Structure 1
């Protein structure tokens, strides 16, 4: 099957993509049972599925570990496809044969994607088997759409019941370094050491190990879903029979601790240790795992009908009375803290997706094309070009940019972080609408200094503005679209110059810039479109007889 080209790349380079897909095909050539490859269109891209087994047999859907690809299930499909129809899914947004079109950023996106995959495969319901990150996703799906999952199998699930700090130390940090310093030979050595650590002294599957190494070196992710420990009350809602399998040589957590928690938190669960198996237990001991799966799924019966699904409708917030201001203050703080906490995975894993987020929303032409102010920082170690389409004219977008800054309108992002909890403005502030060359722009602190704030370097209303400070520029360009609306493109350039401030600058940009900029662009879009909508409504009412 030819791989389709996507504007949303999950590879660090074309050469890296070629290496990964060649390794993928080499593993697939050793798939020991007949199979077909099916591509399911979804709202998040084309999802590639490897299908084996009798069409009339009970269906099993497999979700693979992070960066592992669906080929990891080959040794399991070999035996299970005799009695089941197996569907090994390449999770969209990872370096595999699926082709993403937009990222999955929240749990409801995963639910929508998986539901569309089942629909595309013609499955009313199925048994669901997930390993590692796929296990974490499977547990979430079991809570969100129990009517479509007959039985659930979790194999060494990432987080879910227990934090996985060792993963970040031994695998995430080497992957992060490889993205920051791709030409540094030692980064590949660190990745290889992390993989060896994960296997805990057990021998590798040579063919698949080469593929996993290639995805670790050359792959990334477009999704923003990261493994976490689910609340107990949520796990208690898993209603279908569940089987939890963990390798005896698991290194991310103690199997006994996870078994104890799972037995307390999940109503109908069985637990089994897999001897002489590491984190990828289904790969390291396929015979034992297959035996447990066959026994667990044998008496499950057949699939049932597909039921309707209703979207959740939003609710309008009630007006607050003057007496409730104090309560509102605390509610606002809690809400901001919750929103910030939910974004923590975006911050800590941003370097993992650096090649993608540096061009979030932007086209190839926007990324490679010139922007006002480029010449001010000719040497840039961090260049991020992002873009968004706004259903409002440039004249309605422009004012929201003019008032950006601390103690001004805020940054329309995570207010607890960038404005000390002061909510970003929802209205236009006239006092900030007439900047001039040299004026302070987008101040980061109340005391504006050259190191904490930009100044206006270029200004062409309402088409472009450039903010600059030593070794850095932040440019904005607005283009009126022929069909109406605005294309808003922003470019941030930063030179990493040796000095005391570098210790702070690098983490702020590498970890913090993308989540804040993404939220800011979405915030500008929401505000400008609301202004345009209100203006159109007022104009219509004004013309009414």
Structure 2
């Protein structure tokens, strides 16, 4: 009787040691990319060299395509899931990943409808289908409960997921969430971005970065190159108009701790965002000084410390 029991224990031990082995083989679209994607994937990998901790890349089959997930941090610690901003991809977390992985296992998911390493092969028809896709990925990762961090559009999606399944999400951190608490306020920067639509792509990109970051020089050149290449790729991100602020009743129904951080020069949010966050049952809102919409890069050290303190 002892031999079968020992064998069963060995199988269990080895399977737990590498539970994601079946997701580690890069698919063909990565190993032999189309010409239109080759330069972008190369730039993505260059940015990943900024990832100051070890990581694994997973490729998870889903109903609508393949989800690319970067996994870092010590095993058997509380999981943290990262949802990046629009056109940013998971590599946007390069200034934050070392801090976030000190005490947590971190899962950064590339959004399937835009540039990144996720791959769409079945159309997603609605925002509800987007949240179903995320749930499918989280189910494959076997995450029963986790902390959720979302930046910009990822912040809106994080709240959408939390409202759909509150029991699994232990806490929410929202970094300048777009269209989540309030409508995007009219501003000079917003007007400049609209006017620059008729300018060259280079001018559009320059203006976009200047309006989103308080100090563009802080952004690493490798990431800038990837970001620019990503904006030139075709995107299926057609649900941006569906992103409307959540009602007060919806926001106040969130029962988990919620931290909301915005920059003092944030084109997407205003101080009212912080006021609403502070009215949530377990909410806390703060303004980060000398930061724009890209506050996780503009003031990485400050944002990292506030996220770590909150996760504790």
Give TM-score scaled by structure 1 length.
0.49
Q: SS at the partner of 1:38?
A: strand
- Specify which of 88, 107, 119 is matched with residue 68 of structure 1: 88
* Equivalent residue runs for 1:2-401 within 5 Å: 2=26, 4-5=28-29, 15-164=35-184, 169-171=191-193, 186-205=200-219, 206-225=221-240, 226-254=242-270, 256-264=271-279, 266-298=280-312
CA displacement, residues 237-294 of structure 1 (integer Å, 9 cap, x when unaligned): 211110001112212232x121123333x32201122222211111222221111111
**Partners of 2:165 and 2:99 in 1: CA distance:** 28
How far is 1:192 from its partner?
Answer: 2.0
CA displacement, residues 418-458 of structure 1 (integer Å, 9 cap, x when unaligned): xxxxxxxxxxxxxxxxxxxxxxxxxxxxxxxxxxxxxxxxx
How far is 1:86 from its partner?
Answer: 0.5
Q: SS at the partner of 2:180?
A: coil
RMSD: 2.4
Q: SS at the partner of 2:74?
A: coil
Q: SS at the partner of 2:114?
A: coil
CA displacement, residues 73-125 of structure 1 (integer Å, 9 cap, x when unaligned): 12211122121001111011111100012233333213211211111111111
1:220/1:269 CA distance change after superposition, 3 Å: same
**Partners of 2:227 and 2:194 in 1: CA distance:** 14
1:200/1:76 CA distance change after superposition, 3 Å: closer
Contact 1:67/1:219 (8 A) holds in 2 = no
How far is 1:19 from its partner?
Answer: 2.6
**Partners of 2:308 and 2:144 in 1: CA distance:** 21
Contact 1:70/1:90 (8 A) holds in 2 = yes
Task: Tell me: higher relative CO, structure 1 or 2? Use CA pairs within 8 A at least 6 residues apart.
Answer: 2
1:135/1:152 CA distance change after superposition, 3 Å: same
1:75/1:200 CA distance change after superposition, 3 Å: closer
Give TM-score scaled by structure 2 length.
0.82
**Partners of 1:83 and 1:35 in 2: CA distance:** 15
Q: Rg larger in 1 or in 2?
A: 1
Q: SS at the partner of 1:147?
A: coil
Q: SS at the partner of 1:128?
A: strand
Name the residue aligned to 1:387: none
Contact 1:103/1:223 (8 A) holds in 2 = no
1:103/1:23 CA distance change after superposition, 3 Å: same
How far is 1:235 from its partner?
Answer: 1.4
Question: Between Structure 1 and Structure 2, how many residues are aligned?
Answer: 282
CA displacement, residues 439-478 of structure 1 (integer Å, 9 cap, x when unaligned): xxxxxxxxxxxxxxxxxxxxxxxxxxxxxxxxxxxxxxxx
**Partners of 2:69 and 2:285 in 1: CA distance:** 28
Name the residue aligned to 1:380: none
Name the residue aligned to 2:18: none
* Equivalent residue runs for 1:429-444 within 5 Å: none
